[in-house]
Amino acid sequence: MQARTPAAAPQTAKDSSILKRHGLTRAAKRKLRIAPLQIAKKLLRAKGTGFSPYINPATSRWALAPALCLFVLLPLAACGHKPAQLAADQPVPVRLRAPHRVQQPVSVAASGAVEANVTALSAFQIAGRVAKVLVEEGQPVAKGQVLAELDATDYRNAYDGAAAQADAARATDQKAQAGLRPQELEQARIEFDRWQDEYTRMKFLYEHKSLPANDFKKIEAGYQAAQQRYDMARQGTRVQDKDAASAQFHAAAAQMHEARKRLADARLVAPIAGFVGMRHIDVGDTVAAGMPVISVLDLNPAKVRVGIPEAEIGKVRQGARATVTIPSLDGREFEGKVETVGVAADPASRTYSVKIAVPNPQHLLRAGMVAEARIFGSATVNAVTLPGDAVVRDPKGVTHVYVYDAAQQRVYMRRVDVGAPLDNEVEISGGLSGNEQVVVEGQQNVREGSPAKIMGGGQ
Q: Report the distance separating Cα 45 and Cα 38, nearest Å.
A: 10
For residue 333, list its beta bridge partners.
325
Of the candidate ranges 45-54, 118-127, 211-220, the one whose mean pLDDT is the lowest? 45-54
Is pLDDT of 225 > 50? Answer: yes
Q: Which residues contact 420 (CB under 8 A, 6 or more apart)?
A: 107, 109, 374, 426, 427
Query: For the segment 356-414, what is each residue's pLDDT rounded down to a tens digit?
Result: 999 999 999 999 999 999 998 877 777 888 988 889 988 888 999 999 988 888 999 99
Reported as a pLDDT band with limits 50, 70 and 90, residue 295 is: very high
Can you give the pLDDT at residue 236?
Answer: 66
Q: Is the dihedral of CA 429, 435, 436, 441 positive or negative?
A: positive
Indicate whether 348 pLDDT > 70.
yes
**SS3 call for 379:** strand
Please report which confidence band the pLDDT of residue 7 belongs to, taking 50, 70 and 90 as the band edges.
very low
pLDDT interval class at 33 (50, 70, 90): very low
Mean pLDDT value across residues 155-169? 93
pLDDT value, residue 17: 52
CB atoms within 10 A of CB 171: 12
Pairing of strands 370-387, 321-326: antiparallel
pLDDT of residue 260: 93
For the cut 90, the answer to whether the pLDDT of residue 231 exceeds it is no
Sorting pLDDT into bands at 50, 70 and 90, what band is 337? very high
Residue 112 pLDDT > 90:
yes
DSSP codes joined into one string, 212-254: -HHHHHHHHHHHHHHHHHHHHHHH-S-HHHHHHHHHHHHHHHH
Is the bond preceding residue 10 a cis peptide, omega within 30 degrees?
no
The sign of the torsion formed by the CA atoms of 238, 240, 241, 242 equals: positive
Mean pLDDT value across the chain: 80
Q: Could you tell me the pTM of the whole model?
A: 0.55
Confidence band of 82 (pLDDT split at 50, 70, 90): very low
Strand partners, 132: 149
Question: 302 versus 380: which is more confidently predicted?
Answer: 302
Q: What is the predicted pLDDT for the residue at 88?
A: 55
